[in-house]
């Protein structure tokens, strides 16, 4: 999986703390390197403290994040990244899944589906291009967008100070040689529309995982 955490804020903020509480995950990797605390065998907390600065480009509400490295230097990043493997696999819920021909994903369907989940054009393009090779390994692919409350049970995202909104898009998928009967359309309706410019920050996270 590749969860990416973006912060949108029209004002600068100092010492924002972002934590991800992981349950039953191993092989953790973060970028920039965050603080990783293993409270017990099956519980790990990832944390970053960042300074948030608005970009100067008109209409671009995404923020530059300053993070202090172990050498004491403040470096700038566009987003935070974490990756880990689950000890207990996620399973696709067929009643919440869609089955599509993988060949049509790159012809606008995947972009439409991600935009409808509330991602911006840049976010949707980043997520689509990252996962497309894995999504198109076989003729069909099952896709489920995991509800945030289900993801929170395994990986709880916390932000201090409290933002205006935390929005998480997490895609489960499984490639298959056979078509499955799923009635749920891949592009949700109505589409979600998220605010990006706000005095209080908006947090957007996207990621995914291949299920076997």
Taking only the tens place, the pLDDT of each residue in 25-79 is 999 999 999 998 886 667 899 999 999 998 876 566 789 999 999 999 999 999 9
Euclidean distance between CA atoms 122 and 74, whole angstroms: 26
Residue 31: its pLDDT value, please? 97
SS percent in the chain: helix, strand, coil, step 5: 20, 45, 35
- DSSP E strands: which ranges in 87-139? 98-101
Euclidean distance between CA atoms 24 and 84, whole angstroms: 10
Euclidean distance between CA atoms 144 and 96, whole angstroms: 6
Residue 199: its pLDDT value, please? 75
Q: Are 61 and 197 in contact (CB under 8 A)?
A: yes
Q: 């895609």: which residue's tokens?
A: 171
pLDDT tens-place string over residues 114-172: 999 999 999 999 999 999 999 999 999 999 999 999 999 999 999 999 999 999 999 99
Q: Which residues contact 133 (CB under 8 A, 6 or more apart)?
A: none
181: its two tokens: 């009967």
Residue 81: its pLDDT value, please? 97
Q: Does the N-terminal peptide bond of residue 190 adopt cis geometry, omega within 30 degrees of 0?
A: yes
Euclidean distance between CA atoms 110 and 42, whole angstroms: 34
Q: Are 11 and 55 in contact (CB under 8 A)?
A: no
Residue 24 has pLDDT above 80, yes or no: yes
3-class secondary-structure state, position 33: coil
13: its two tokens: 């903020």
3-class secondary-structure state, position 134: helix
Residue 203 has pLDDT above 90, yes or no: yes
117: its two tokens: 């989940």
pTM of the model: 0.93
């Amino acid at each position: 999986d590749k969860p990416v955490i973006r912060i949108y804020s029209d004002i600068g903020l100092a010492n924002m703390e972002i934590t991800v509480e992981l349950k039953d995950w191993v092989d953790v990797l973060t970028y920039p390197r965050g603080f990783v605390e293993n409270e017990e065998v099956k519980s790990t907390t990832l944390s970053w403290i960042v300074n948030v600065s608005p970009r100067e480009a008109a209409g671009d509400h995404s923020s530059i994040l300053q993070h202090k490295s172990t050498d004491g230097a403040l470096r700038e990043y566009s987003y935070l990244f974490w990756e880990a493997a689950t000890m207990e696999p996620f399973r696709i819920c067929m009643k919440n899944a869609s089955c599509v021909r993988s060949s049509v994903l790159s012809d606008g369907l995947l972009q439409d589906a991600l935009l409808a989940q509330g991602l911006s054009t840049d976010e949707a393009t980043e997520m689509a291009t990252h996962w497309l090779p894995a999504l198109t390994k076989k003729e069909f692919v099952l896709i489920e967008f995991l509800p945030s409350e289900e993801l929170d049970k395994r990986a709880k995202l916390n932000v201090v100070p409290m933002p205006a909104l935390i929005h998480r898009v997490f895609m489960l998928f499984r490639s298959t040689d056979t078509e499955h009967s799923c009635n749920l359309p891949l592009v949700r309706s109505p589409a979600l529309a998220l605010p990006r410019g706000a005095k209080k920050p908006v947090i957007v996270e996207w990621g995914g995982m291949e299920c076997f």
